[in-house]
Each structure stands twice: as structure tokens, then as C-alpha cells.
């Protein structure tokens, strides 16, 4: 599937990277996600809240953003929505995007590149399971675009995991 990205798409993706940078500045894992409705309105913007010991390991930025958007838009309102995220959604977050009705995912940093940055850090035990593979097992299609702007997204991770 050939995908054309608009300037707005790139701006939203860069905003998710800024959310990740802000998360790091606040002392949490450097991940950020936003959900944009079919009308182009930013519905949710979330950083990561999974940093031990007080964080919840299920509170990845993507999961929080799609859940918040669903609470605002409901099932019908999620039609045509896009998740923009600073890193490729993990299996948990891909599942959450699927179940909340996201139609499109645009991500910056691939899981492979993220693993190069985190190594075997115990706070980020990555899956070797691309989100495209998770979505391919579902009953409805989800368009996936990425990786894009990987160097920009990687900057928030440099030095964080060491």
C-alpha cells in the first residue's frame, strides 16, 4: 500500500517526538503519542508512565493515548483516527490501538532501532514483534506508516538507557 504523508502528518509525528522529549525531561521513559481524529483534531497527547517503582508497566504512551481518545470519541468517533507515536507500538499497545478502533498508525522509531538504543535494559524488554504483524492477525485492516524521522526520535533516547 503506497502512502502519501501530508505536512500535517509530519507535524503530528514531530509533536509525538516532542511529547517523548518532555516525558524524558519529567524523568519518565522517553516515549510520546498523540491521537488525531478523522477531522484532524488532536484528541489525546500522552507521555509514558511506566517507569518503576511508582509507574505502571502497562501505561505506555500509546496505550494511554488511544484509551483517552476512545473515552472522548467513542467507538464511532474513532473511525478514521490516527495514532502518531515516537516509537513503534509494542504488542500490548498495538492490541490497544486495535481494540479502540484506530484506523492508522504512524510511527517514528522502529522497534529494531529502539533495541539498539536500549540494549537489554530491564525497564524496556522489547518484543521482536513488529506492530504490522500484530495488526495482520486482526479482522480489520489498520494502515501502518513507519519508521519515519528515526534520527529525530532517537535523540530523546541517547544516554537515557545507560
Query: Which grid coordinates are listed for 123?
Result: 525497564
Q: Does 62 qualify as catalytic in the annotation?
A: yes
Taking only Cα atoms into account, the Rg of the chain, rounded to an integer number of angstroms, comes to 14
How large a percentage of the chain has pLDDT more than 70? 94
Share of the chain above pLDDT 90, in %: 75
Q: Of residues 15, 26, 54, 62, which has the active-site annotation?
A: 62
Is residue 1 predicted with pLDDT exceeding 50?
no
Mean predicted confidence (pLDDT) in 10-15: 98
Q: How do residues 26-42 score in pLDDT, each as one tens digit?
A: 988 999 999 999 999 99
* Domain spanning 7-156: CATH superfamily: Cytidine Deaminase, domain 2 (3.40.140.10)
Q: What is the DSSP letter of 23?
A: H
Identify the residue with better confidence: 125 or 62.
62
Paired residues of 107 in beta bridges = 85
Handedness of CA 17, 140, 79, 71 (dihedral sign): negative
Per-residue pLDDT averaged across 50-79, rounded?
90
Position 53 scores a pLDDT of 67
Do 13 and 106 contact (CB within 8 A), yes or no? yes
Question: ∠ at Cα 23 (142, 87), nearest 5°?
Answer: 30
Contact indicator for 86, 31 with CB cutoff of 8 Å: yes
Residue 52 confidence (pLDDT): 65
Distance of alpha carbon 82 from alpha carbon 100, whole angstroms: 11
CA distance 162 to 159: 6
What would the pLDDT profile of 68-127 be if each residue is shown by its tens digit?
A: 999 999 999 999 999 999 999 999 999 999 999 999 999 999 988 888 888 777 666 677
Amino acid at each position: 500500500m503506497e502512502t502519501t504523508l501530508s505536512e500535517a502528518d509530519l507535524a503530528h509525528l514531530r509533536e509525538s517526538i516532542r511529547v517523548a522529549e518532555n516525558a524524558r525531561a519529567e524523568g519518565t521513559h522517553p516515549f510520546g503519542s498523540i491521537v488525531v481524529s478523522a477531522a484532524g483534531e488532536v484528541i489525546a497527547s500522552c507521555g509514558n508512565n511506566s517507569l518503576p517503582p511508582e509507574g505502571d508497566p502497562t501505561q505506555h504512551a500509546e496505550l494511554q493515548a488511544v484509551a483517552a481518545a476512545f473515552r472522548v470519541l467513542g467507538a464511532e468517533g474513532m473511525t478514521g483516527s490516527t495514532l502518531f507515536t515516537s516509537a513503534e507500538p509494542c504488542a500490548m499497545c498495538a492490541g490497544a490501538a486495535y481494540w479502540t478502533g484506530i484506523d492508522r498508525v504512524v510511527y517514528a522509531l522502529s522497534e529494531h532501532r529502539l533495541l539498539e538504543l536500549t540494549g537489554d535494559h530491564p525497564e524496556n524488554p522489547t518484543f521482536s514483534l513488529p506492530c504490522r504483524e500484530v495488526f495482520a492477525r486482526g479482522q480489520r485492516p489498520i494502515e501502518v506508516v513507519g519508521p519515519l524521522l528515526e534520527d529525530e526520535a532517537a535523540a530523546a533516547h541517547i544516554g537515557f538507557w545507560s
